Amino acid sequence: MKYHAISLRLLLLAATPLLTDCSSPAARTAVKSPGAAASANTTKGTAADKAGPAREDAETDEYATVADISDPLEPLNRGTFWVNDQLYTFVLRPISKGYELILPKPVRKGIDNAFENVKYPVRFVNCTLQGKFKRAGQETGKFVVNTVGGVGGIFRPAEKIPALANVPEEDTAQTFAKWGIPNGPYLVLPVLGPSSVRDGIGLAGDYALNPVNWPYIWWYAKRSKHDWTIVPPLANTLRSTPTQMDKYDTVTKDAVDPYLSARSSYSQNRAEAEKK
């Protein structure tokens, strides 16, 4: 029982790379930054100061109207959001800072490239399931070029080939959307953050398709105590944490209501991804 409890906690940490990407260009305009506030004060003078609480209420309303997803579970979601924020602040962010301190940026970039290259099955399978066979071929080309010419994916020479550069990534949730499955209610998942019922199930699909997790899934299914199997997922967690924390901070740091800002940003980002 103790072993399984530890395994569950490790699995949750290993799933951190699945943290929903809630950062998008459109969302950044919904976040109050100090620079933007100073510029607004310069042009509007004391009128902005007199607006005070009314302006904040208007911005909060804007978040609510921009969000294109139902949120009937908002009280529960806000509670989970708060717990996640504490976890990010006191656990994941210190880990992130330590990782960045120990490893120089070029080394971290190479590690990121290698792990992203290994995620080829996630992208290939979902391209195929959506009928995007040309894109599936491009993903295969990228994987071969980066694996062979990029030393196992540490480098990304495929990005210098026009036919293989900037190929939009596909995931299981996008496949569900392509099939006409609706989002369902907005859902803030423990550790993983912003999602929806549909996308939460999609995250499980992405996890299962990622080869990094296969040893752990295989041995855990056999109830075998092979502790080494958690190493690849935890390494994946460690390398992805700085990027995920940066995305989270971009959206929530100076927002009037971080919860609404994250929800709006998530909705916009996923809608844009589904169009590509």
pLDDT at 114: 97
Written as six digits, the tokens of 184 are 């369902």
205-224: per-residue pLDDT in tens?
999 999 999 987 777 666 66
Q: Residue 5: is its pLDDT beyond 80?
A: no
Helix (H) or strand (E) holding 193: strand 193-196
Map out the domains of the chain as residue ranges. 72-275
CA angle 123, 126, 130 (to 5 degrees): 135
Give Cβ neighbours of residue 111 (< 8 Å, ≥ 6 apart).
Answer: 103, 154, 239
Q: What is the pTM of this model?
A: 0.77
pLDDT at 147: 98
144-189: per-residue pLDDT in tens?
999 999 999 999 999 999 999 999 999 999 999 999 999 999 999 9
Reference 114, options 185, 211, 201; nearest CA is 211
* Structure-derived torsion over alpha carbons of residues 117, 210, 274, 239, reported in degrees to the nearest 10: -60
Q: What is the mean pLDDT of residues 131-148?
A: 98
Q: Could you give the CA distance from residue 274 to residue 181 in angstroms, rounded to a whole number? A: 12
